[in-house]
Amino acid sequence: MHVLLPDGKQLEFDHAPTALEVAQAIGPRLAQDTLAASVDGQLTDLMTPLSDGATVALITKKNPGDAAPVFRHTLAHVMSQAVGELYERKGYPKGSVKRGVGPAIDNGWYQDFDLPEPLREEDFPEIEQIMRDIISRNLEMQRRQVSKAQALEQFAADPYKVELISEFPEDEIITFYQQGDYIDLCRGPHFPTTGRLPGAFKLMSTSGAYWRGSDNNPILQRVYGVAFATQKELDEYLHTLEEAKRRDHRKLGKELELFTIDPLVGKGLPMWLPNGTVLREELTNFMKEQQFRRNYSPVVTPNIGHLDLYRTSGHYQNYADSNFSPITVDDEEYMLKPMNCPHHMRIYASKPRSYRDLPLRLAEFGTVYRYEQSGELNGLTRVRGFTQDDAHIFCRPDQLKSEFLDVLDLTVLVLKTFGMNEVRFRVGTRDPNNAKYVGEDAYWEMAEGQIIEAVTEVGLPYSVEPGDAAFYGPKLDFVVKDVLGREWQLGTIQVDPNLPERFDLTYTGEDGQDHRPIVIHRAPFGSIERFTGILIEHYAGDFPLWLAPRQIMIIPIADRHNDYAETLRGELHALGLRAEVDDSSNRMQAKIRDAELHKIPVMLIVGDKEQESHEVSLRERTEEGTKERKGVKFDDLKNELLVRYRTRMP
RNA sequence: GCCGAUGUAGCUCAGGGGUAGAGCAACUGAUUCGUAAUCAGUAGGUCGUCGGUUCAAAUCCGACCCUCGGCUCCA
């Protein structure tokens, strides 16, 4: 038996060694400082026997962050043990705490419990204290392997573990880990001792979670924790959470008076306030301009449709759970529209189409209504009524790729315009083993191939995710990462031969025969509500000039400058710029503070000097901070602002 | 929908069985000031809703609603 070290050195053993034994063979000091190992690139612990010829890189106290998933996992066990001890302190007999799963996740871990009485967040400090105590006991994490029968006996008192073990194959060797008197079924890996665990952890929250993720199962109590190799990283993470709170679009939406959600109107039904509407209209104008250039044809369709329309499209049957219930009028049934496509299909069908008419690009800012579960509703990002920047491109198979390329081009322009630089494209293809996908193999191969060709041609980074396609065709989603590293799914492009089929859409080809068009569904913003929510957080409310609902605040230093300020406001307004005068009796400093708090990007300060020479003093909020320019000719500034606005520069 | 937490003035929050509090915002008056808070005064609340306990409920109990954190779902 031998193992390889990263420097190419080879170590011989007369048995399958663990990574700890490898470390000991190199030196006892190293063995003490080793936390985990990377074996053939896979994170492993020190207690697991290695296979012959494996390459072993030891992770030591020098860079403990490399072993983060391992110590997070071990901390889940330590917390699990601590919770057991807490309930003993509360007077419950040993074994009354039952456990679900407890994996490491991004930034930390969670552990599910079935508890005799719910855990409260007030209990966190005590649990953390017990955890620190367990760490200071420096318990050894022992790895044990038993047969399935022995495991069933070992965990007989814990129904959740029994359920998991029962599903293993009969001959499976079952691994569990033990520290002190705490034993848990677990695949590992773990730190060798609790004493080597970092102290930079914190219990964050508790919530309910269904056993094995199914709402038919009992609900367990899940406790979340975060952990890092160093206190500094933990502090940074907590700071990021604070930053996320500061950027929260629900908070900023209220402060900047962008939108409101009123229970009397209905939950999940946001109303756009004047400031928010200005922002929304800037977004839709941008998209309208682009669609005009790309020869889209705008259409408008009603907010409800006959139930037969959705029976034909399949939306009524396939998405019954998330539609609003039908409305009966004069013995006919109607439904709030959950998608715009069925209406657009009927517009296509409203007259005979020739191959010369294609591609036909029907675009609509269409408002749709979907019944989202109440617990899902969230500000603007998850709502029951929203508007899509929707379009359906009806094309011939030979036009598919060029149309797809044009949609991709538009998408990339959108991302660039809003400074969303970290973006990921996800090509959802069919899972060949899943029967839900309709249509012929030849079609799928053609459509999937064309999408991947188009994405490659544009030179975008993409991943292919089998099984992620819609049941009728492949799709392309774009996912952006924000400044805080959170991912948001924006728009989507889907290729669909199914709806033209269901609606029996045809065009007359060159050959005089009827042919079936293909439809591309696309929505670069996706939902305008959701996109706006993401934009608010992306800019932290500091919108670029063209998007800022309140662009310019003119600040007269004293009342005698109000008339001059009002003249300037009128001139700016005549150019289409959004300018206001703060003619309150506040001091200039207070007016500036007020404009700052409202995140108004441009402040024009005018006093005696400016009034005499038809100038302004400029104070701007920029990404780099406050920028001041004094003695600026107003006529020059007017032009500058107008150009910036029209060209959508920051 | 499920689990848990929360709900006091427009906003941020204090109070906790016996007359409802502060700061900011609003309004009125004074002040006219050079790059993030001028001073004084006035007004503002069915303490989420409904019910119960009590001589007395914003406070204790119950149900419901909204919101928040998760779970599940997302054409």
Same domain, A467 and A360: yes
Domain boundary among A539, A574, A600: A539
- CA A383, A385, A389 angle in degrees (round to 5)? 100
- Give the closest residue to B37 (Cα–C1′): A590
Q: Is the pLDDT of residue A430 over 90?
A: no
Phi first, then psi, for residue A571 (nearest 5°) are -65, -40
A119/B53 CA-to-C1' distance in Å: 29
pLDDT for the residue numbered A484? 74
Q: Is residue A503 located within the same domain as residue A405?
A: yes
* CATH at residue A359: 3.30.930.10
Q: Which amino acid is present at A476?
A: L
In this predicted structure, the answer to whether residue A319 has a pLDDT above a threshold of 90 is no
The protein residue nearest B68 (Cα–C1') is: A378
Domain CATH code at residue A81: 3.30.980.10
- Is A75 contained in some domain? yes
- pTM of the predicted model, to two decimals? 0.90
Q: Does residue A325 lie in a domain region?
A: no
Cα-to-chain-centroid distance, residue A412:
18
Residues A56 and A76 in one domain: no
Residue at the smallest CA–C1' distance to nucleotide B30: A585
User: Protein A122 CA to nucleic acid B20 C1', in Å?
Assistant: 29
Arithmetic mean of pLDDT, A324-334: 92
DSSP A331: T
Average pLDDT rounded to a whole number, residues A467-484: 84
**What local confidence, expressed as pLDDT, does residue A483 receive?**
73
What is the number of alpha carbons within 13 Å of residue A139 lying toward its C-beta?
21
Query: How many domains are there within chain A?
Result: 4
Query: Which nucleotide is at minimal CA–C1' distance from A596?
Result: B36
Spatial distance between the Cα atoms of A153 and A175, rounded to a whole number of angstroms? 14
| A490-504 confidence digits (pLDDT tens) | 888 999 888 999 999
- Residue-number span of the structural domain to which A26 is assigned: 2-62
Q: Note the pLDDT tens digit of each residue in A292-302.
A: 999 999 999 99
Last residue of a domain, which of A198, A215, A243?
Answer: A243
Strands (E), A125-244: 142-146, 174-179, 182-185, 201-210, 219-227
Say if CB A100 and CB A217 are below 8 A apart.
no
Q: How confident is the model at residue A207 (pLDDT cuts 50, 70, 90)?
A: confident
Mean pLDDT in residue range A395-412: 92
In whole angstroms, B37 C1' to A597 CA is: 11
- Nearest alpha carbon to residue A519 among A350, A276, A385, A346: A346
Instruction: Please tell me whether residues A95 and A28 are part of one structural domain.
Output: no
Residue A575 has pLDDT above 90, yes or no: yes
Q: A260, A237 in Cβ contact below 8 A?
A: no
Band (A305; pLDDT cuts 50, 70, 90)? very high
- Per-residue pLDDT of A53-112, as tens digits, reads 889 899 998 888 899 999 999 999 999 999 999 999 988 888 889 999 999 998 999 999
ipTM: 0.93
CA of A222: nucleotide with nearest C1': B70
One domain for residues A434 and A559: no
**Which bases of strand B sit closer than 7 A to a protein CB?**
1-5, 11-12, 25-26, 29-38, 65-75
Task: Round and report the angstrom distance from CA (A24) to C1' (B21).
Answer: 68
**Is pLDDT of A370 > 80?**
yes
Are A633 and A576 within one domain?
A: yes
Do A290 and A141 reside in the same domain of the chain?
no
Residue A332 lies in a domain: no
Nearest nucleotide by C1' position to the A609 CA atom: B34
Q: Are residues A90 and A228 in the same domain?
A: yes
Residue A218 pLDDT level (bands cut at 50, 70, 90): confident
CA-nearest of A154, A145, A141 to A78 is: A141
* Rounded CA separation A415/A260 (Å): 27
Q: Which nucleotide is nearest to A374 (CA to C1')?
A: B1
Among A35, A62, A89, the domain-final residue is A62
What average pLDDT is seen over chain A? 92
Residue A268 pLDDT > 90, yes or no?
yes
- Torsion over CA: A430, A434, A435, A436 (sign): negative
Tell me the CA–C1' distance in angstroms for A267 and B8.
23
Nearest nucleotide from residue A316 CA, by C1' atom: B75
Q: pLDDT by residue (tens digit) across A151-166?
A: 999 888 888 999 999 9
Distance A255 CA to B67 C1' (A): 17
Q: Which residues pair with A591 in a beta bridge?
A: none
**Phi, then psi, of A458 in degrees rounded to 5:** -75, -15
Q: Active-site positions of A?
A: 341, 370, 388, 390, 392, 475, 521
State mean pLDDT over A259-284: 94
pLDDT of residue A646: 96
- The answer to whether residue A261 scores a pLDDT higher than 80 is yes
Task: With a cut of 80, say whether residue A249 has pLDDT above it.
Answer: yes
Residue A505 lies in a domain: yes
Domain contains A315: no
pLDDT at A193 over 80: yes
Decide: A77 and A184 in contact? Cβ < 8 Å: yes
In a domain, A311, yes or no: no
- Assess whether pLDDT exceeds 80 at residue A432: no
CA–CA gap between residue A395 and residue A412 (Å, rounded): 22
Rounded to whole angstroms, the distance from the CA of residue A213 to the C1' of nucleotide B3 is 13
